[in-house]
Structure 1
């Protein structure tokens, strides 16, 4: 049995270190909640370490003093873990339903005197004792379990009272965290030679991490991605905006060939003045939808009020040219072109240089538009 418990403790310790690593490096959201959980895991690891040492030293009479020290330390850590879990539970509830710290201060405030008293019971051999190199419970062992039981009752009341704020997933995780070590304490009381408490703590923190910490981080990343997506989208057309365009320009450096199309709405100001901004919006939406129909939505950017840029990375020139023909037919489908268009295609050319070339071509097309439709020129409005 001793070898089995040592093996379980070692595996549980490895699990706890993995949870600690994930808690520190993987979870970025809800700093106070995650910080308190990280401290819980560190406390569990310390307790697991001393518990493992106690089982390794068990039966070695020549190391009785060191064995007593390890038993004393993991006993103390058990109470500290129980106290800190109350605080962690408070941070969980406080995220969705702000509550006063006085909810947990009473139970936490008595932890100091109780731990000192419990240390006295251990040191005097009344709580636990070492007999012939083996750990044994003392005649007042039950008294050492009063505070952990109080902590558990307090936590259960908090969980049940704030169950709706916590949600079923967090409630289940918290109960799993408490019941796993608690069940092993009961077993240990009836079978003193069997103790899986700290091994159970390792699996308990894993349950909490998977069901609460990691899940919350996934929700946080989803919200973060949603915000990023919203910040890179144009509210009118749904196309990528100038911010997304700047990001795309940075990424375009890795492509061998890039085709650029620069598109500028014709007569937007005149349309807004003569027919109202709703008509101007319809003109912009018409251009945006036409670009989406010909190209992919992820290639099209609205970089300013009436300007659009299309990026075509690694597209064969034949395909690019064919799509340009389709775009030309689209902008002239009603007779008067609704937009002026310029293009540039290159390999190994800096992306901003290609955009500048396409913009210059667009201005030439714009001059031709004003030449064909002089009434649309701004000075004639």
Structure 2
């Protein structure tokens, strides 16, 4: 069956198909297929683009799901994926273009050029949304009026998670994996 589009020749159609394929590949290279959040590739690109620049009024948050391994072991990977999807959806509902799934159960939110009060309200809404879905998680949040090294701020937020993780896993033998 031949498809006909007036005014578009065979080579023109090939160009359209090639363009659509490039757009699809671009989307796939920067999106996490499970959550549709941006992925680690896009996160690295954003962090690299901030390299050497002063960033103003910026908030970052790290989120890490607690108990994903236990969920996978006890209820299967489909249940674990549901935890990841529920967390991702809770983020998408509030800050879809500022969020990244950077690891298996790790998420980062970067709010550039946003007032602290607005950033904190949005992050609180995300926390409430995640908690409503019965997902347990620590969140490390940092906000700065001005900074020269975004990577340092991200590391600081990530470090906050491990303090909370240690508390969560305090009475289990899993703690050894979180103590560095």
Match for residue 116 of structure 2? Answer: 317
TM norm structure 1: 0.41
Tell me if the contact between 2:169 and 2:175 (Cα under 8 Å) persists in the aligned partners: no
CA distance in 1, matches of 2:153, 2:118: 18
Per-residue Cα deviation, 1:216-249 (whole angstroms, up to 9, x for no partner): 5454333212111112211211111111111121
Tell me if the contact between 1:252 and 1:313 (Cα under 8 Å) persists in the aligned partners: no
CA distance in 2, matches of 1:235, 1:344: 28
Aligned-pair distance for 1:331?
4.1
Per-residue Cα deviation, 1:183-237 (whole angstroms, up to 9, x for no partner): xxxxxxxxxxxxxxxxxxxxxxxxxxxxx56x65454333212111112211211
1:281 equivalent in alignment to 2:120: no
TM norm structure 2: 0.81
Superposed CA RMSD in Å reads 2.7
Match for residue 327 of structure 1? Answer: 126
Q: For residues 97-246 of structure 1, what are the structure 2 equivalents within 5 Å?
A: 169-170=8-9, 212=11, 216-246=14-44
SS at match of 1:237: coil
SS at match of 1:269: helix
Of residues 259, 281, 293 in structure 1, which corresponds to 2:59? Answer: 259
Aligned-pair distance for 1:166?
9.2
What is the total number of aligned residue pairs between the two structures? 171
CA distance in 2, matches of 1:221, 1:329: 40
Tell me if the contact between 2:83 and 2:135 (Cα under 8 Å) persists in the aligned partners: no
Tell me if the contact between 1:287 and 1:338 (Cα under 8 Å) persists in the aligned partners: no
Higher strand share: 2
1:294 equivalent in alignment to 2:94: yes
CA distance in 2, matches of 1:323, 1:313: 13
Match for residue 378 of structure 1? Answer: 174
Aligned-pair distance for 1:345?
1.7
Higher helix share: 1
For structure 1, list consecutive stretches of 5 or more residues without a partner in the other structure. 1-163, 172-211
Q: Relative CO higher for 1 or 2, CA cutoff 8 Å, sep ≥ 6?
A: 2
Greater C-alpha radius of gyration? 1
CA distance in 2, matches of 1:345, 1:216: 48
Of residues 131, 138, 147 in structure 2, which corresponds to 1:340? Answer: 138
For structure 2, list consecutive stretches of 5 or more residues without a partner in the other structure. none
SS at match of 2:9: helix
Aligned-pair distance for 1:350?
1.2
Deviates more, 1:300-309 or 1:254-263: 254-263
1:268 equivalent in alignment to 2:68: yes
